[in-house]
Structure 1
Amino acid sequence: MKKKALSGIRWTTISSISVLSLQIIQLLILSRILSPSDFGMMALVMSVVGFSNLFLDFGVSSYIIHKQNISNKALSSLYWLNVLVGLFFFALAYVLAPFIADFYNEKELTSIIRLISINFIVISFTSQFSVLLQKELHFKKIAFINIIAGISGLTVAVLLALNDYHVYSLIYSAMTITAISSLLYFIYGIKDHCPAFFLSFGEIKKAFSFGLFQMGERILNYVNFQFDVIIIGRFFGTELLGIYSIAKNLSMYPSNIINPIITKVSFPIMSKIQHDHFKLKGTFLKTINYLSSINFFVYSVLFFSAKPLIILLLGNQWKSSIPVFQILLIYAAIRSTGNPIGSLQLAKGRADMGFYWNLFLLIFIPISIYIGSSFGIEGIAFSLLFLMITLLTLPNWYFMVRPLCGARLNEYMKQIYIPLLNTTVAFVISYYLINMIGLNETTSIILKTASMSIIYIYLNIRFNKEFIYTLFQLLKFKLG
């Protein structure tokens, strides 16, 4: 299993870095062609589409991975359930599109939502194949699919943007990625599992009872995560939303790429050892440590590079996004440490805990964001950061981690605070040491990154040996 896990990490890393590179290239090019309003419009569309996508799965994917010996009848029943749900949400989005457009006072949203909702049908026919590939740890195939689809989407986006398609260049790019990836998942998946024309409500009920809480948890989590977009889109307009959404998307890129490298592999492994309490706790704590060690370092480098990074990637028209970008970088770094808890919940078959946790968050997040909106988009970003610092420490451990794996508070917090302290020390020394020399901005950032890397590696060798050992094992496996 260890060899499969390392192989999974290797191919997920290749896939994630490739997809991130393609997304950055697309953003770099399109930000100089499209307006902030175009990106704001896309943010509104994706908030609606993303919400609908939550219902397409019904928590079935996690049930398939969690269930170690699932029958072909069950898989066939769940496959056709996905198809029926996809058709239903296509029709629902088509009908509701004008009302959503009226809410945001953006008439063009009607045609855009109706167009992109075709994705619901396409995804429903192939989502199970992607889950089965993940369950069997076939991450090499998944990497190939993601890279090919990403290249196709980038090509479409750039060509259409250059031909004045405006926001539709983003829409057709997203649809292209869905179409290509779905086709390839179908080609790979149909070889190993061909769904029969069979529909058993008994099998669906079993999956639904498992997935109901997970679906509810995902819905609540999505509302919590997208409430800032809803508020800005409703009260501030698409231009400010475009500025905010670019800053938010950029801040989320590192953890969205780094976290799945670990969690997509650790989730199936934790599912296999779900009854071995000691091993499960150890795997979970290591996952937290590895993610914290990588994410905190990456986000600290991005923080002091924010100004030249935004200007270089996006151009001077996006300079106003720099303050909110830096706030959201800190928010995203802290948020990234909570991601593996979701995998732990599902591995233990306790999706209900995630549901109740996000229901608890729903009490605070909308109120906090609404208060923060009085101070503009920076106020909204600060409100998110404050909540993340407050809620993702003691409450998160007490209500989630402790019951699921029995980790003590000091065991859990150690996995976060050691990487945090190592990063802080390396950041402060490098930042002030290089600033004392008085170099130009580009040279300063290069030297800060280099010196911080050296100090950080040294501190991890001294105080976080497990992370360094695993990192070297992974590099050895990759080079070997």
Structure 2
Amino acid sequence: MFAVNHHFFRAKTSPYILQKTLKKQVIGGVAWRGSADIIQQVLQIVFTIVLARLLTKADFGLLATAMVINRFFVALISVGFGGAIIRSTDVTKEQISAIFYIQLILNFTLSVVVYFLAQPIAGFFEEIELVRLVEITAWIILLQTFQFPTILLRKNMQFKSFSLIEISSMLIANTAAIIMAFDGFGIWSLVARLFIQKLCFIIGTWFAAKWKPTKPDFNGLKPIMNFGFNMLGSNLLSYFSENLIAIIISKFLGKEIMGLFNIAYNLAIVPASKIKSVLLSVLTPGFAKIQLDIVSFTKNNRKVLLYLSLTFIPFMFLMSGMSENIVLFMYGDKWIDASPMLLILAIVGMMKGVVHLLRSSILVKGEARVILYATIIELVSSLPLMYFYVSIYGVNGLLIGYSVGTLTSFFYIVYKYDKLFEEKIFYKTVLLPFIFGVSLFTLVFFIGQFSINLYIELILQLFMALILFGILMRLFYWKIMKMALQRFRLLK
């Protein structure tokens, strides 16, 4: 069922039919994954609004610190087996089972290690409350092993099932967390949310995939292992590039500042990570099937870049310009110090979201080294600045260094992307959407300078931004607007 022989498929099917079928799969997949991620993002914001009023900044900060630690240890063994399975056209069921067992052993070992390191970790951050928190959240690493069937759902482009399971799991977990928060469980309501969401998702994916591990076959795993281990260095460095700022905040600025940062980060950077998950889930397997057809690959890649730029770039600029009002409206006065962080992080998130698309295209072409070098460049350019500025400007100094690192890596990835496709397609494609975004930012930021009622100001900002965006789209991309409506009808 899972070892799809794509060579046989190509031999028996005309290129035209293959391209039409793949196009329909990719469009349907993007629609489902995109819609699911938008719904999840909206729900996450709604649930966080409720929890932010019931819990403290320290609660959010402590859990965020525990999860940063968790992600660090996961990065140590993130060898990219999932991507290798999706990319492979001839992996067998027995080989898939072998990879599952390898992952199970690695994750169990890692959970045990993290559990016994809880005391030293809490000592490093000088937060005794972290001990019990790290001991319990360590077992989330083991639970992640049993999400393995999601790889198979993605490989077979079963995105409808995948998306519905994600949304259902999120609803159940957050409802339970809110009930616990009302009952006075504090930070443990956030911990329970993590475990309940994982367990519900695991049950759903195993049921949807209808997969059971078979007798493992470790022969022939070398290509998959090589691809995975080639990604290990990049994944580890990527962890530091994305989480170093959180580690420094937790260590030097405390759990309350970490709580504020976590709220801003989740609003600004999580949308970029959602973009990444859609690309990895849908476009990577889709592009992998046409990677040898240079013309088709380039054409489809440019289309995706344009559609992403027209929606994501203006949205993130809009979030940045409205940062203060967004924080006040959603979380209340006690979280107002998160608004300057959101203003900067939204622009960083915009760059990261676009880069995720470029990275997925580069990876499909087999250029994993480019991603590794980009991550090194980001770390080298950001770390000295963060270290120097944190003692002078506090969290804002860290954000300056973080932004410079992201920008430097962004330009390197863009350079390599344009060079790989042998034409300057990035700037030609993204320039107008970028101008749209800057225009929206300028408009809403200007409106935000007037001291009027919060709700009136928010409505005015959104209304004027919508009018401006509609005018710009009508002038420059009217055909795309009509085509987008037609494509949504393909969603079944």
Same fold (TM over 0.5): yes
**Corresponding residue to 1:100 among 117, 121, 127:** 121
User: 2:426 is matched with which residue?
Assistant: 412
Amino acid at match of 1:165: F
User: 1:308 is matched with which residue?
Assistant: 325
User: 2:74 is matched with which residue?
Assistant: 53
Equivalences for residues 235-384 of structure 1 within 5 A: 235-258=252-275, 260-261=277-278, 264-374=281-391, 375-384=393-402
Amino acid at match of 2:469: Y
Whole-angstrom CA distance in 2 between matches of 1:156 and 1:252: 25
Whole-angstrom CA distance in 2 between matches of 1:444 and 1:314: 17
Amino acid at match of 2:91: I
Call closer, same or farther: CA 1:55–1:319 in 2, change over 3 Å. Answer: same
- Secondary structure of the 2:394 match is helix
8 A contact 2:383–2:401 mirrored in 1: no
- Secondary structure of the 1:32 match is helix
User: 2:14 is matched with which residue?
Assistant: none
**Cα deviation, residue 465, structure 1:** 5.5
Call closer, same or farther: CA 1:470–1:384 in 2, change over 3 Å. Answer: farther
User: 2:410 is matched with which residue?
Assistant: 392
**Residue by residue, what CA displacement relative to the aligned partner does 1:91-129 show, whole Å, maximum 9, x if unpaired?**
1111222111111011222221121122222221332x1
Q: TM-score, normalized by length of structure 1? A: 0.91
Q: Identical aligned pairs, as a percentage?
A: 22
**Residue by residue, what CA displacement relative to the aligned partner does 1:230-265 show, whole Å, maximum 9, x if unpaired?**
111111111111111211111124333455445532
Amino acid at match of 1:194: K
User: 2:57 is matched with which residue?
Assistant: 36
- Secondary structure of the 1:447 match is helix
Unaligned runs of 5+ in 2: 1-21
- Secondary structure of the 2:240 match is helix
Unaligned runs of 5+ in 1: none
Equivalences for residues 24-173 of structure 1 within 5 A: 24-55=45-76, 57-127=78-148, 129-173=149-193
Number of aligned residue pairs: give it.
470
**Residue by residue, what CA displacement relative to the aligned partner does 1:162-188 show, whole Å, maximum 9, x if unpaired?**
222222211111011111111111122
Whole-angstrom CA distance in 2 between matches of 1:71 and 1:266: 22
Whole-angstrom CA distance in 1 between matches of 2:232 and 2:305: 24
Amino acid at match of 2:198: T
Amino acid at match of 2:407: I
Whole-angstrom CA distance in 2 between matches of 1:186 and 1:55: 26
Call closer, same or farther: CA 1:435–1:164 in 2, change over 3 Å. Answer: closer
**Corresponding residue to 1:218 among 218, 228, 235:** 235
User: 2:5 is matched with which residue?
Assistant: none
- Secondary structure of the 2:91 match is coil
Call closer, same or farther: CA 1:467–1:98 in 2, change over 3 Å. Answer: farther
8 A contact 1:304–1:445 mirrored in 2: no
8 A contact 1:418–1:464 mirrored in 2: no
- Secondary structure of the 1:137 match is coil
Q: 158-167 vs 259-268, which deviates more?
A: 259-268
Q: 141-150 vs 355-364, which deviates more?
A: 355-364
Whole-angstrom CA distance in 1 between matches of 2:474 and 2:220: 50
**Cα deviation, residue 436, structure 1:** 11
Call closer, same or farther: CA 1:326–1:94 in 2, change over 3 Å. Answer: same
Amino acid at match of 1:19: Q
Whole-angstrom CA distance in 2 between matches of 1:437 and 1:178: 45
Whole-angstrom CA distance in 2 between matches of 1:336 and 1:12: 15
**Cα deviation, residue 144, structure 1:** 1.4
8 A contact 2:290–2:297 mirrored in 1: yes
8 A contact 2:436–2:469 mirrored in 1: yes
Whole-angstrom CA distance in 2 between matches of 1:89 and 1:443: 51
8 A contact 1:288–1:415 mirrored in 2: yes
Equivalences for residues 167-182 of structure 1 within 5 A: 167-182=187-202
Whole-angstrom CA distance in 2 between matches of 1:428 and 1:268: 39
Whole-angstrom CA distance in 1 between matches of 2:70 and 2:345: 23
Whole-angstrom CA distance in 2 between matches of 1:137 and 1:115: 34
8 A contact 2:61–2:256 mirrored in 1: yes
